[in-house]
Structure 1
């Protein structure tokens, strides 16, 4: 069974040399691993600018549309803060499914019928052996950042020079993640009177919360199945690919707005709890998805 030994050794070598056995890089395989800090900086700066520009644009428009001597409609926002949760998840998986079958020819079966007819049927005996080896590695990087809306409205942030090419990092690098439109919808609800967002930190569970989540998932997968046919042995004749490699990237951004607590350093209990629950839900969701995949 030298052929079987050769196939198994080759499968194990491919598995150990592929992804799934080392900590995945956040950067793509075609990128330099040393570019990872710049990539993360680009993502964080892009998200920071997205949130700042959305809030600043709404406040400026509100101020311009407020009659002289009247209080701006969005003045309540200055007592709020923004909690940003950023999850960068990369999962790499490899699997190999070698199989070998041996076929032993047997004597033909000959059947004679009345009238002298003769039917010859070839015969053989086959034995198949197969197995599956797989490795799965997951990396989850999380960032939690808190900003006061009053600080976002007044800070000087350089949003130029951000590399917004998704191929160089993440789809979160897009210039428009829908944050401005989402906030405008919430402001319309407030102004219509259908929702009255809290302006002060009253009872611990007496605040309204605004939350916006954007998630991108990009999956690439490839496989190869070489086929060998010898006498009397054949390899890789099964339905499963001989070698399969998969890379799954999930970039999840959650922006939560709510009243600031009395310390002024974080969101009040209800919106802060909502932000934590959102992050926990994203983590459980990714874990469930990974465990359910073959």
Structure 2
């Protein structure tokens, strides 16, 4: 029994600092300097997709003899409030087990046991931006958005599809009442989740004690989540360093951002 007691104490001590630190925002295979570069690439990808989406919609639904739908030129007076939340969550657990004979020299009857210890650390960063579409369009025509960078950047965020669908609803005659110029606001949400995990189970055989015969000894996981909320509405006031949307759009953006934060918290809770 002294050997068993010593083994258990050593196993607990070996995980004393396991996971008890804030995770890095960059991926495990990246250097620390990559964090700011990835964040910059993501923000610029969202900005570029907004710019290109509005420009393409205005070109597609431009007034002409062939197009008899309602004008979507109102988009030039609108803007987008964007919220990007990046969350890194790391979990680690140790679950050492042992098996000893129930009686001295017993071969068929044994007693098994174990202990458990775990740690969980979460780090989150949130960025909020508001773009006026006329400011974006003033930067010139965009052919394609740069796709070099992290996974979220190389993926199609579908912002163009979202804006085109809403512009189509406003352009089709009869969808929006005649006296109403356009919708009040519309929102878009997207979530990217990247998960890594692994475990190790070394087995030790002493004279009468077997350590970690079955259960995973040490395992860990890392989850990085990108939550994007975009609310599009009429831009109000003069151009400033802090652009604003209409009160209706601002209120909708607040609700959508809050709902996504609650959903993110629930995902983290259920994964534990």
TM-score tier after normalising by the smaller chain length:
0.7 to 0.9
Q: Does 1:183 align with 2:184?
A: no
Aligned-residue offset at 1:211:
1.3
**1:8 and 1:98 in contact (8 A); partners too:** no
Please tell me whether residue 27 in structure 1 is matched to residue 26 in structure 2: yes
Change (3 A) 1:163 1:191: closer
Residue 233 (structure 1) aligned with residue 209 (structure 2) = yes
Q: Once the 2 structures are TM-superposed, how far is the Cα of residue 160 of structure 1 from its aligned partner?
A: 8.3
SS at match of 1:136: strand
RMSD: 3.0
1:78-131 deviation line (CA, Å, top 9, x unaligned): 2211111111111111001112232144588xxxxxxxxxxxxx664x443321
Distance 1:5 1:286, change over 3 A: farther
Q: Matches of 2:155 and 2:28 in 1, distance apart?
A: 24
1:37–1:221 distance in 2 versus 1, CA, 3 Å: same
1:194 pairs with 2:175: yes
Question: Post-superposition shift, 1:156?
Answer: 4.5
Greater Rg by CA: 1
Task: Say if 1:259 and 1:271, in contact at 8 Å, map to a contact too.
Answer: yes
- Structure 1 segment 144-293 matched on structure 2, within 5 A: 144-156=128-140, 162=146, 164-165=148-149, 169=150, 171-174=151-154, 176-192=156-172, 193-195=174-176, 208-239=184-215, 241-262=216-237, 265-293=243-271
Residue range with higher mean Cα deviation, 148-157 or 248-257: 148-157
Deviations 1:170-215 (A, max 9, x none): x320363211122111111112232459659xxxxxx622112221
CA distance 1:199–1:175, change in 2 (3 Å): farther
User: Any gaps of 5 or more consecutive residues in structure 2?
Assistant: none
What SS does the aligned partner of 1:260 have?
strand
1:225-278 Cα distance to aligned partner (Å, 9 max, x none) = 112222211111244x11011011111212210122346631122211221222
- How many residue pairs get aligned? The number is 265
SS in 1 for 2:76: helix
